Amino acid sequence: MKQNTVVEMKKPEPFVDDPLTAIVRQGARDILAKALEMEINNFITQYSYQR
């Protein structure tokens, strides 16, 4: 018979909803949006000659 190797996962911490966390999350969203916009612009520029 095989030995049970299932490991129980810890429950995640409860969601913290405070003003500082909200500011950090919004900042992260803004940075990711800017990075994605730059990547898209670079991609479009790189292949703009292929119409």
Tell me the pLDDT tens digit for each residue of 8-24: 888 877 777 889 989 99
Measured CA to CA in angstroms, residue 25 lies from 13, 32, 34 at distances of: 17, 11, 14
What tokens were used for 24? 């950090």
What pLDDT, in 10s, does the model give residues 37-50? 999 999 999 998 88
Mean predicted confidence (pLDDT) in 19-32: 95
pLDDT of residue 1: 61
Amino acid identity, residue 33?
A
Distance CA 19, CA 36 (A): 26
Distance CA 17, CA 25 (A): 11
Mean predicted confidence (pLDDT) in 24-43: 97
Model confidence pTM above 0.95: no
